[in-house]
Amino acid sequence: MIYEDNHVQFFTATIHEWLPLLTDNKVKHIITDSLSFLVKEGRVFIYAFVIMNNHIHLIWRIRSPYHLKDVQRDFLKYTAQQIKFYLLKNNIALLEKCKVGHYDRKYMIWKTNSLSIDLYTKAVFEQKLNYIHNNPVKAGLCVLPENYIYSSADFYEQ
């Protein structure tokens, strides 16, 4: 029997300087494709997500034997590279706003410290789920949560 020792978590990753790098739907697809890959590879369970213009929220659980820090690192590194490649071809002006001049990188896509919170109770899980699904409504991107296609809200309405 495999023991799943990782807790369900609320995860937030924010774009460096809150730049609207995730506005383009093709960039949002980089995120969804990467999440799909992690699910297919058996690294995560995804319970909820939303992709906003400058940040993402997830409720997920990292599956054993994988470790949270490794999955997060790989996900953020891969998506950052893919976003950078996309912007190099399609929006160099926006990419230039990501320049940082650090010793180890020329551009920064994601903020360094992502937020991960263990969700130990059903009440906290539901609070975070509602927060995620209502995020696009509060941002004025849609009227009803289930109308925003870069969210799992519609799945919960079915």
Residues 59-98: pLDDT tens digits? 999 999 999 999 999 999 999 999 999 999 999 999 999 9
Strand pairing of 44-51 and 8-14?
unpaired
Long-range contacts of 105-108 (CB under 8 A, 24+ apart): 108/16
Its pTM stands at 0.92
Confidence of residue 1 (pLDDT cuts 50, 70, 90): very low
| Interatomic CA distance for residues 92 and 81, integer angstroms | 14
| Interatomic CA distance for residues 60 and 8, integer angstroms | 6
In the numeric block, the tokens 């891969």 are attached to 78
**Six-digit token string for 21:** 């790098």
**Six-digit token string for 142:** 């849609």
What integer pLDDT is reported at residue 11 of this predicted model?
A: 97
Residues pairing with 14 in the sheet: 55
